[in-house]
């Protein structure tokens, strides 16, 4: 049977089109060894021709069964193939019309991820190093660090310099290797030059934050290192407030002005974070804080407490606890507290629970010098609220606190007296300075038992102890504070180390809210302060010893050595 002329023409055109397709893909396969950018470019060029190859002009103009009723019927397969090709071609045309910036067009039902022009412009408007969470190579980090230091050095205005120093701080915070690279490329020297040349207060604030992040500390304002530590103990922190108020009265200065390094654990971390900064609470406001903790947090009924304990492993309302912390402590990043000129170095201690062994974790508002390593893990990238929330997460009392996959609980589990931790950290910051004064504040202890109580007549003659007694004794030993006190008392001179820990008739629980018991705590603390008046005066005198002339001369020489790059740490 002889086919009509127009059918012969159509079959010939179809064969030519198929040949062209095969030829195009052969050409494409020849250049697969080129770079990915060229491959994508040629791929787009090749595929862009597919609509024209699948649909010649006669078909596009309407030379089909639907547009020409005189055309004989074709097979169902031909019609099906042609209709599917038409759909694909229309989809490609829609994509090209909507957005010309896709990577791979539609082929046989495939469609690659498309990017709109708005998305590309939005990504380009933010520096890549600020949004890129991938791990950068050391070469990239070094290059960016050098670029930021160069921009800081060449800044022409105060605003520009402040912005570029902030960029450096943000970059170092995101890339741990950048801190070492910045120090080795003279960052401290450059910033010291700026500090000496400028009198702008905003610039000095940013510089103090940058120095703290880089591990640089200024010379001490007094003769040596002055350290304050506060133990854990819940509501018994009221006793510490009264004792520190006595020191403020004797010296005429606020707590943050009296000490160079302040460290706390559990309730101690809450207290030092509140009163340890220039923008923090006064002693009167700290007293009000403990009152609100007692009335709003520890007044929960036993029914709800047991229910929470079963469901959340926390007897008290953790959400309320967090709200109170945010209100009184605030959510300022730890490192930004250094912007205040008189802010001391702060630390809060928690306990890490989800490692092979439990260990202390130190929340710092500073970085240690890159060439010194602490015995305690820690970080300065968190906020004041996060540090005290982690340090105060007492087991069964409040829920545990998770930060970056690390589960934190109350620091008192391991370090209920943080005096040794504070001395260790302070000596890393000022290794060549002597310790001028250490004030360690406890939250109360039992009155010393008479020796007769330990005689053979007084000892319980039972052959074993109950499980309840055993667990209670283990917990007491784990949270004991006097062992650290004994060690520090033996190693430090008597005119340097001062331990204040009032004797209590009854050791008050950390969640005590009964007014008579709180009044008893205040009364016995006041009695302890009056009996140890001379000791408080000695501590106040030790805290106020000024720096000698020879020390000031040495500080000046060391600062010049560091500023002009003569110190090996620059």
- Map residue 492 onto helix, strand or coil: coil
Q: Are 570 and 215 in contact (CB under 8 A)?
A: no
Sign of dihedral through CA atoms 446, 451, 455, 457? negative
Please name which of 393, 413, 397, 401 lies closest in space to residue 313, comparing C-alpha atoms: 397
Structure tokens at 463: 């052959």
Contact 267, 237 (CB under 8 A): yes
CB 294 within 8 A of CB 350: no
Q: Are 366 and 212 in contact (CB under 8 A)?
A: yes
CB-CB neighbours of 525 under 10 Å: 24
The contacts of residue 221 (CB under 8 Å, 6+ apart) are 260, 547
Choosing from 317, 410, 433, 542, the catalytic residue is 410
Residue 149: closest CA among 165, 128, 130, 127? 165
Q: Is 61 a catalytic residue?
A: no
Per the listing, tokens 């705590």 go with: 521
First to last CA, the chain: 95
DSSP state at residue 448: P
Residue 76 host element (H or E): helix 76-98
Encoded tokens for 564: 């002009």
Task: State the greatest distance between any 2 C-alpha atoms of the chain, in Å, as a whole number.
Answer: 128
Contacts 24+ apart (CB under 8 A), 319-323: 320/296, 321/297, 321/389, 321/392, 321/398, 322/385, 322/389
Q: Helices in 365-418 by DSSP H: which ranges?
A: 384-391
Closest Cα partner for 497 from 513, 481, 482, 485?
Answer: 485
Q: Which two tokens stand for residue 392?
A: 């105060």
Half-sphere exposure of residue 458: CA atoms within 13 angstroms, side-chain side: 7
Whether 410 is a known active-site residue: answer: yes
DSSP-assigned beta bridge partners for residue 396: 314
Catalytic residue among 64, 167, 231, 266: 266
Task: Dump the DSSP string for 257-321.
Answer: HH-SEEEEETHHHHHHHHHSSTTS--HHHHHHHHHHIIIIIS---HHHHHHHHHHHSBSS-HHHH
> How far apart are the C-alpha atoms of 356 and 253, rounded to whole Å?
44
Cα–Cα nearest to 272, from 422, 414, 404: 422
What's the token pair of residue 286? 């700290």
Residues with catalytic function: 266, 410
């Amino acid at each position: 049977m002889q086919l009509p002329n127009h059918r012969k023409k159509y079959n010939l055109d179809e064969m030519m089109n198929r040949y062209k397709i095969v030829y195009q893909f052969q050409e494409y396969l020849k250049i697969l060894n080129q770079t990915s950018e060229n491959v994508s470019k040629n791929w787009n060029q090749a595929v862009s021709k597919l609509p024209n190859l699948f649909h010649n002009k006669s078909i596009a103009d309407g030379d089909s069964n639907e547009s020409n009723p005189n055309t004989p019927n074709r097979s169902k397969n031909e019609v099906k193939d042609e209709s599917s090709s038409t759909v694909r071609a229309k989809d490609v045309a829609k994509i090209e019309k909507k957005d010309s910036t896709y990577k791979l067009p539609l082929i046989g039902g495939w469609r690659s991820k498309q990017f709109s022009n708005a998305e590309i412009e939005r990504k380009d408007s933010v520096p890549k190093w600020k949004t890129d969470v991938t791990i950068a190579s050391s070469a990239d980090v070094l290059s960016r660090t050098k670029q930021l230091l160069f921009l800081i050095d060449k800044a022409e205005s105060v605003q520009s310099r402040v912005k570029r120093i902030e960029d450096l701080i943000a970059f170092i915070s995101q890339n741990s290797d950048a801190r070492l690279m910045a120090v080795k490329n003279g960052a401290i020297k450059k910033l010291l030059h700026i500090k000496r040349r400028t009198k702008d207060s905003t610039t000095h604030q940013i510089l103090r934050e940058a120095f703290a992040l880089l591990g640089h500390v200024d010379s001490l304002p007094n003769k040596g290192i002055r350290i304050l530590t506060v133990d854990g103990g819940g509501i018994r922190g009221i006793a510490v407030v009264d004792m520190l108020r006595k020191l403020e009265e004797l010296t005429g200065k606020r707590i943050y002005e009296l000490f160079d390094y302040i460290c706390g654990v559990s309730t101690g971390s809450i207290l030092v974070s509140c009163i340890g900064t220039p923008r923090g609470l006064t002693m009167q406001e700290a007293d009000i804080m403990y009152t609100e903790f007692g009335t709003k947090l520890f007044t929960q009924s036993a029914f709800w407490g047991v229910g929470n304990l079963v469901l959340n492993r926390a007897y008290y309302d953790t959400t309320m606890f967090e709200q109170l912390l945010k209100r009184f402590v605030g959510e300022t990043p730890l490192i930004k507290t250094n912007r205040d000129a008189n802010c001391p170095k702060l630390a809060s201690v928690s306990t890490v629970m989800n490692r092979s062994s439990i260990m202390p974790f130190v929340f710092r508002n500073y970085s240690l010098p890159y060439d010194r390593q602490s015995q305690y893990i820690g970080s300065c990238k968190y906020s004041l609220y996060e540090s005290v929330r982690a340090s105060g997460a007492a087991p069964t009392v409040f829920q545990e606190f998770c930060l970056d996959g690390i589960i934190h609980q109350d620091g008192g589990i391991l370090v209920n007296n943080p005096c040794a931790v504070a001395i260790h950290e302070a000596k890393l910051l000022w290794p060549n300075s002597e310790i001028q004064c250490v004030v360690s504040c406890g939250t109360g202890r039992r009155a010393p038992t008479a020796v007769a109580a330990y005689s053979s007549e007084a000892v319980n003659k039972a052959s074993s102890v109950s499980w309840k007694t055993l667990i209670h004794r283990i917990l007491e030993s784990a949270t004991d504070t006097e062992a650290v006190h004994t060690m520090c008392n033996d190693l430090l001179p008597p005119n340097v180390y001062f331990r204040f820990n009032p004797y209590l008739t009854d050791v008050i629980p950390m969640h005590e809210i009964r007014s008579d018991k709180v009044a008893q705590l205040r009364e016995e603390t006041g009695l302890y302060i009056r009996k140890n008046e001379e000791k408080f005066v000695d501590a106040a005198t030790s805290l106020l010893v000024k720096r000698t002339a020879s020390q000031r001369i040495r500080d000046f020489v060391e600062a010049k050595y560091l500023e002009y790059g003569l110190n090996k740490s620059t």
